[in-house]
A = this chain, B = another copy of it.
Amino acid sequence: MDIGVIGLGHMGSAIARNLLSAGHRLTLWNRSPEKARPLVDAGAALAEHPADAADGDFVITMLADDRAVDAVVRGDGGLLSSAGGAVHVSMSTIGTPFAARLARAHAEAGRRFVSAPVFGRPDIALSGGLFIAAAGPPADLAACQPLFEEIGRRVFIVGAAPETANLVKLCGNFMMLSAIEAMAEAMALAERGGVAPATLLDILTGTQFDAPVYRNYGAILVERRFRPAGFPAPLALKDMDLVDDAAGAARVPMPVLGILRDHLLTAIARDGEDVDCTAIAESVAAAAGMADEAGAPRSRNAPARLAAV
């Protein structure tokens, strides 16, 4: 396949690397072109303008926010000015009203557009193991199927309106932070009550909370490993602000969301812009008077002793 990739951050680069390894022709564009160097060395082409990456079968965008996507789509030399007919596959985490506007703009320009945000980390993207939530016109989704097979382990078809896939992605991130917040509150109470957080986590994940979201983030909370950031708090806050916008427009009160946004603000205010989103646990601990030097494990308690029957 002939594929454009626009946006070469951690995730975009990993997806591009995976596609290149599979033997596809890649054309890249990034605002800072030097980030494309390793991939160009490995055989990818470099486009001068975003539009130049849209001559093939697909053009993927994987960018930081609404504004960045808007610039490569509607700016000078943007995708909408391209002569090619590639399906635009938007993988960024963007707001639902903006995704709907993007869909309309493509439709009016006679171009094909699907939203396909992904779940997973860059190291998983490298091996084509992402989860994909995809939405768009059925024919366009069908056309994307071979692309999705290269990128993801599994694709979930959400519906025909592209913005619904973005909504699902935002809901997923909300659920993830909710699980972290709940664990943080329970661990603070447990620790004050003489139960090591690691013990609590072992019991939770050994019973009905046996899911990656608890295992992975729970381990980070137990070790208080808030740097380097896998998902920096300001990016998580940006996503939660998008959820807040969607909830406001839909008139859906989400009280847990308010707590998450407050705790992300506290984490950033206390610990800086480079802290991981899991540091909402430090906001919880600080409010209980339990916070001390960042990064140091607060609790030296032995991990859970487990006795299998």
Contacts and interface: CB of A to CB of B under 8 A. Distances in A.
B252 A208 contact: no
Nearest to A241: B248
A228 interface: no
A208 B203 contact: no
Residue among A181, A211, A246 with max Cβ neighbours from chain B (10 Å): A211
Interface string A267-309: 0111000000000000110111110000000000000111111
A133 interface: yes
Contacts of A178: 178-179, 181-182, 185, 256
B156 A250 contact: no
Given A148-B309, A182-B178, A204-B172, A269 B256 contact: no
A18 interface: no
Copies of this chain, tallied across the complex: 4
Interface string A33-76: 00000000000000000000000000000000000000000000
A195 B172 CA distance: 13
A14 interface: no
A170 to B, nearest CB: 8
Contacts of A304: 156-158
Contact of A190 (B161, B168, B193): B168
A241 B245 CA distance: 10
Given A171-B190, A259-B255, A208 B200 contact: no
Interface of A: 96, 119, 131, 133, 145, 148-149, 152-159, 161, 163-164, 167-168, 171-172, 174-176, 178-179, 181-183, 185-186, 188-190, 192-195, 199-200, 202-204, 206-214, 216, 237, 241, 243-244, 246-248, 250-259, 261-263, 265-266, 268-270, 283-284, 286-290, 304-309
Given A209-B211, A252-B265, 18 more contacts: A145-B307, A148-B309, A163-B193, A164-B193, A168-B195, A168-B200, A168-B203, A172-B203, A175-B209, A176-B208, A189-B254, A192-B250, A210-B212, A251-B288, A253-B261, A253-B284, A255-B255, A259-B259
8 contacts: A131-B206, A157-B306, A168-B190, A175-B209, A182-B256, A185-B254, A192-B250, A237-B248
